Every structure is written in structure tokens, then in C-alpha cells.
Amino acid sequence: MSVVLEKKATPIRNPFEVAQRQFDIAADALQLEEGIRIKLRVPRRCLTVSVPFELDDGSWRVVQGHRVQHDVSRGPAKGGIRFHPQVTLDEVKALAAWMTWKCGVVNLPYGGAKGGIEVDPKALSMHELERMTRRYTNEIAIIIGPEKDIPAPDVYTDAQVMAWIMDTFTMRQGFASPGVVTGKPISLGGSLGRREATARGCTCAIEEACKHLGLQLQGMTVAIQGYGNAGSIAHDLLHARGAKVVAVSDSRGGIHSARGLDPKAVQAHKQNAGSVVGAPGTDRISNDELLELKVDILIPAALENQITEENAPRIRPKILAEAANGPTTPDADPILHENGVFLIPDILANAGGVTVSYFEWVQDLANYFWTEDEVNQKLETIMRRSFADVVSIAEKNHVHNRTAAYMLGIGRVAEATRLRGLYG
């Protein structure tokens, strides 16, 4: 099978340049007209705000926050908010673009958005975190809302942060507005199954990949880079399906055991020690070493730019499922493909989170809530259908799976853009 591969170029590490390069590859394959290409290549709106808040000792601190809306051709903007010291505007722009294509891949009536604050949340007390979150919400409130832009949790944000955002927005509005965010606590209008959704969607995509490749998931070896919400729950789900997770890692390092890692034991150790490192009966490895382990399934569930043209030749799992956003650079993609790695790209592999966020938003607007079984069943239906759509495009157009996923997502957004035309 011949494969359309991009020409070798200077390595790219800026996340927004990575996102644009991925877009260009798919736009070329789609033969996208110039006007729509120019419009979809850049964000619709970028808001950068100063976020002053009071520390517990009475002093003030000011950090910078961002909210980017990439496209709203298919519906309100949708995307998480992350708190991380390395947040940049270009990173947020890239994440917003990836959300646009992700919503297109799973055919949700959303556009893409993303937010972030350049801060280390681990250095803040709970009260400081709340004051910062509420001030940030007040600053971006002019562009968010249930019909405009719906935030959600991301790196180092959670249901409690979403509750503070919802409450702050509600106080400004003067009436309850649970649909302004998703990923909320269940008691405030959150959806059953939302916490597990990203990992469940990724696991479902892995199951479909195994069927497509004629493999049995039971007994396959797995390595997971990143042990937050997505990584730790993926460990649970894959272990329950008979796969053997032999390595996991977090920001402090990784652990390995050829016998396999029990998810409950690793999670208990991380809860007590603050890291998976040092879990009894394991050997310590680095994050880089984890990526290059000889395993059947590799799940990057951390941050961007983990798999590059430098280490890609040594990364050879049967299946690479990107639970993180942007873990692989464009120059690494053809290397992985040539080495026979079956890629489940991020805009498909981790789309379970935004899919169940959509379910939560629908339930909030209707004031009618579903059972967890209903949520999981609807999620799996969408993930299996979307996987089949991506693989079909890849085979029909002789491209690798990332380009196929981008062709699917961008194609749907481009069609909506054509039909709507230009106002003014």
C-alpha cells in the first residue's frame, strides 16, 4: 500500500506550528480551497488576561491566562482549561485547533476551544487556587457561556475547579447556569461516566484496533506514559480486559515490572507517596525509557512532543494510542508508519472525554439525566463508528491514520464553513 508522506523538514516543537503542519498535510490531501484553508488554519479569537489574586499571607500575585476559540462553524466552542507552569498562548492555540478537529472526527455539534493559566497549581493552597480560578473565570466570562463556549477539566484541573467556574459565572448571570462547564461534580449537574470517559474511549479504540489487526487484547503488554486521570483509569480498564500493563510513569519518573502492575496497588502507592516511583516490587525507569520498551501497546497520556524523529525509530509497539494531545511530532509520524506501528491518533483516541462532555451538556440543557450504562453505551457507539470512519478514509486514500483522522474532522468543518458562507 502506498502512503502519502510529507517531505522532510526542519523539526518542529512549537505546538501550534505542529498543529498547523498536521492541518496542512490533511488540507493538501483534501485539496481544500485556499480561502477555507486560510480561515481554518488560524484561531477565530484569542483572549489573554491578567489574573490577579490574593495569597493566603495577604500579598497579591498576578499570573497570565488564556482562552482561545478556534472555530464555531458547527456549534459552540468546547475545550478544557489547564493549569500548568509551561502553558503558552501557542500551546493553547494548538489545543483549541485539535479540539475543533476532534469534535469533527466524532461528529459532535461543537467547535474547538482551550484555556490555560501559566501557573504551578501544586504551589498554591486550596483557597489560593479557588481565588485564582474565580478571578480567571470573571476575566473570560465575556466569551464563555452554555451557547458560546463551554470549558471542561484538563491538566491539573478537576470537578472542583469546574464547580468554582460554574458558581462564579452563575453569580454574574443572576441565575443557575450548569451548562457553562462540563466535568462538574454529579451533584451540580455532572454526568455519570465523565471521569472515566477519556480512558474508556481510548480503551474502546484499542479494542477496535485489535479487531482490525486480528489481535487478542487479552495477554498483550502495555506501557502508559502519564498517570493522571486518563492514564490511571486506562490501567484499570485494560487490566480488567486481561491486558498486562508492565510500565507506567508520571512527572517524577516511571516503574516497570515484567510480571505486570496491579492498578490498585500502584494507585494506592501514588496516593500515599505522590508518585508511582518506588512502588513495591518494581524497577525504576525514566519516561524516555518507557516509550522505548518492547510492548504491544503504548499509551502516551502526558504532554505534547514526547515522540519525535529522534526517538521514533526505537518506538515499535503494535498499537500506539494517543491518550494525550499532540504527543507525536509530524516528523515522527512517517517513521512510525514505516515501522509498522498502528497509530490511533489523539483526535480519535482521546475523544471520549469531549464526547461525554457533550452528553453532560445535553443533559444539563434538558434537565434530564442518563444512567451510567446509557452514557457508556452511547460513548462506545460513537467511538466504534468514528474508528471505522478513520480507517476507511486511511485505506481509501492510502494515507496513515493521523492524516485520515484530520481529513475526516477538517472535511466536516470545511463543509459547514462552505454552507454558512461569510457574514458581512
With respect to residue 134, please indicate whether it lies within any of the assigned structural domains: yes
Give CA torsion, residues 27, 30, 36, 41, to 10 deg.
Answer: -20
pLDDT, one tens digit per residue, over 69-92 is 999 999 999 999 999 999 999 999
pLDDT, one tens digit per residue, over 350-368 is 999 999 999 999 999 999 9
161 and 265 in a common domain: no
Gap between the terminal Cα atoms of the chain: 46
Closest CA to 151 of 117, 126, 199: 117
58 and 172 in a common domain: yes
Domain boundary among 298, 320, 349: 349
Closest CA to 196 of 35, 356, 38, 308: 356
116 and 85 in a common domain: yes
Cα gap 70→115, rounded to integer Å? 11
Q: Which of 114, 184, 244, 270 is catalytic?
A: 114
Closest CA to 342 of 333, 351, 350: 333
Domain range for 257: 197-349
Give residue 13's pLDDT.
Answer: 75
Q: Annotated binding residue at 78?
A: yes
User: How many independent structural domains does the chain possess?
Assistant: 2
Give residue 11's pLDDT.
Answer: 53
313 and 226 in a common domain: yes
242 and 179 in a common domain: no
144 and 169 in a common domain: yes
Cα gap 304→30, rounded to integer Å? 26
DSSP string for 225-291: E--SHHHHHHHHHHHHTT-EEEEEEETTEEEE-TT---HHHHHHHHHHHSSSTT-TT-EEE-HHHHH
Q: Annotated binding residue at 396?
A: no
With respect to residue 362, please indicate whether it lies within any of the assigned structural domains: no
Task: Pick out the chain residues at pLDDT < 70.
Answer: 1-12
Domain boundary among 301, 333, 349: 349
With respect to residue 105, please indicate whether it lies within any of the assigned structural domains: yes
214 and 181 in a common domain: no
Domain boundary among 334, 349, 364: 349
Burial environment of residue 58 by CB neighbours within 10 A (0 to 12, 13 to 18, 19 or more)? exposed
Give residue 1's pLDDT.
Answer: 39
Q: Is 114 a catalytic residue?
A: yes
Q: Annotated binding residue at 88?
A: no
For 288-295, which contacts have Cβ atoms below 8 Å and span 24 or more sequence positions? 289/254, 290/223, 290/225, 290/247, 290/248, 290/249, 290/254, 290/256, 291/223, 291/225, 291/315, 293/223, 293/246, 293/247, 293/256, 295/221, 295/222, 295/223, 295/246, 295/247
336 and 218 in a common domain: yes
